């Protein structure tokens, strides 16, 4: 497994990570034993960048990761997050108060069963608390030896600059995929200016780019994607067209659509690390194999022409949640 440098630090992480959010039933049912086996198989294959959050399953996701890495701490680079309280307090959405930062960190360390968090993200920016205060508290965690590196998730470029002035931000996390390309012109140029890694979640378009979703019937009844405008009504009917050019290229290259989608993200720069969510071994192995697929300049241009940046219809999150991103 090749590695990529983590922002302005001296740490290196696998060029593709493992997103663990789906292991707690957010996109349909999940099996704990299979999820743990998937995390351990990822570590066996050199995928050391494991991403979780205290918001996933109300902390149960961190507990699951903790069980999977027990006895294997040295082979795992653990990223977790705090501050996304939308599920229990949709009016506030995020909590960045210094006292909450400290409390959340201690609880995450306990659930994960580790002494230090490798990369600690503010999951959502609290608009009621100056970012300088939140990152100041995160800086204290670094100085206390509880956290190694700091990150922000779903922040604006202005927030990133202000946070970086308080303490080096090693990574930001947001979406990037063939149907979510806003970061290429907005966030990634600023990340490169500040030497910050861009961690790309949902690089498979929440499953759309795999070819597994052709219509509403392909989503489980309690699947959270049903709440997202991109997966509803006329938006969904339009968006499923995204898979056709990806499938055509995948057929020509003898790989899967998901592998083409991941190869596209990897091709956007060595300072970008995708974290596809996998809860099954076969999907994990397919994702890892994507790191060996090289897209030519002509193939990248073909995808750009077929799937322009403004292709996708519908917002990334339900309207009630969109105010919590790019904060």
Instruction: Give the separation between CA 207 and CA 213, rounded to whole angstroms.
Output: 7
Sign of the alpha-carbon dihedral angle for 87, 227, 35, 78: negative
Out of 56, 198, 201, 317, pick the active-site residue. 56
Whether 196 and 160 have beta carbons less than 8 Å apart is answered as yes
Whether 218 and 212 have beta carbons less than 8 Å apart is answered as yes
Instruction: Give the separation between CA 49 and CA 192, rounded to whole angstroms.
Output: 21
Burial class of residue 319, CB neighbours in 10 A (0-12, 13-18, 19+):
exposed
Burial class of residue 294, CB neighbours in 10 A (0-12, 13-18, 19+):
exposed
Tell me, what DSSP letter sits at residue 257? H
Whether 261 and 242 have beta carbons less than 8 Å apart is answered as no
Query: Quick check: is 100 catalytic?
Result: no
**H helix or E strand, kind and range, residue 122:** strand 117-122
Q: Are strands 3-5 and 12-14 parallel, antiparallel or unpaired?
A: antiparallel
Length of the chain: 327
Whether 78 and 52 have beta carbons less than 8 Å apart is answered as yes
Number of other residues whose CB lies within 10 A of the CB of residue 228: 19
Whether 118 and 149 have beta carbons less than 8 Å apart is answered as yes
Burial class of residue 217, CB neighbours in 10 A (0-12, 13-18, 19+):
exposed
Catalytic residues: 56
């Amino acid at each position: 497994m090749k590695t990529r440098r983590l922002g302005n630090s001296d740490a290196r992480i696998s060029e593709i990570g493992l997103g663990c959010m789906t292991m707690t039933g957010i996109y349909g049912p999940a099996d704990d034993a299979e999820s743990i086996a998937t995390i351990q198989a990822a570590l066996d294959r050199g995928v050391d960048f494991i991403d979780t959050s205290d918001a996933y399953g109300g902390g149960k996701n961190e507990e699951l990761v903790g069980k999977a890495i027990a006895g294997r701490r040295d082979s795992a680079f653990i990223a977790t997050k705090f501050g996304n309280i939308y599920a229990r307090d949709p009016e506030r959405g995020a909590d960045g108060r210094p006292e909450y930062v400290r409390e959340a960190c201690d609880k995450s360390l306990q659930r994960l069963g580790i002494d230090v968090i490798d990369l600690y993200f503010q999951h959502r920016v609290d608009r009621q608390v100056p970012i300088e205060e939140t990152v100041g508290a995160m800086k204290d965690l670094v100085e206390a030896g509880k956290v190694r590196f700091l990150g922000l998730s779903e922040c604006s470029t202005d927030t990133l600059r202000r946070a970086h002035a308080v303490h080096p931000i090693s990574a930001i996390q947001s979406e990037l995929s063939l149907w979510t390309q806003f970061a290429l012109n907005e966030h990634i140029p600023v990340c490169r200016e500040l030497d910050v890694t861009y961690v790309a979640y949902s690089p498979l378009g929440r499953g759309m780019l795999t070819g597994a979703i052709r219509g509403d019937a392909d989503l489980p009844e309690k699947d959270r994607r049903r709440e997202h405008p991109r997966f509803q009504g006329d938006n969904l009917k339009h968006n499923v067209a995204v898979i056709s050019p990806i499938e055509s290229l995948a057929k020509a290259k003898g790989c899967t659509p998901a592998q083409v989608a991941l190869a596209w993200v990897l091709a956007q720069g060595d300072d970008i690390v995708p974290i596809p969510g996998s809860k099954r071994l076969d999907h994990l192995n397919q994702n890892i194999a994507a790191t060996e697929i090289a897209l030519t300049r002509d193939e990248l241009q073909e995808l750009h022409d077929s799937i322009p940046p403004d292709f996708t219809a519908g917002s990334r999150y339900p309207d009630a949640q969109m105010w919590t991103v790019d904060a």
